[in-house]
Amino acid sequence: QVQLVESGGGLVQAGGSLRRSCAASGRIFSVDQMGWYRQAPGKQRELVAVFTRGGNTAYADSVKDRFTISRDNAKNTVYLQMNSLKPEDTAVYYCRFALVYGDYWGQGTQVTVSS
């Protein structure tokens, strides 16, 4: 069984920064994708930043040059550094580990950016 525990997030003023982390426990192998998604009120869940199989990264256009995804393979942890935050970044942020044998999501954490 795989479990994901997220930390970080919260309330920040526009222009500020936040760092999120997501630690996975259990049997972690054959990772197709790991990273971050978000869902704003009234909108569909969308990709923010992920590592794909092979170690490449993919970012939403809206966060390029502001957000950075990183990982610590030894700790099965993925991070999201969010800089120059904007009110439109306000959403519930979820981490995701998509494994060959299952798709796992974190509990989600609210990030609110005030103007």
* pLDDT for the residue numbered 17: 97
* pLDDT for the residue numbered 12: 96
Secondary structure letter of residue 55 according to DSSP: S
Q: What is the pLDDT of residues 34-86, one digit of tens each?
A: 999 999 999 999 999 999 998 899 999 999 999 999 999 999 999 999 999 99
* pLDDT for the residue numbered 5: 95
Q: Which residues, 6+ apart, have CB-to-CB distance to 15 below 8 Å?
A: 84, 85
- Please state, for a pLDDT cut of 70, what percent of the chain lies above it: 100
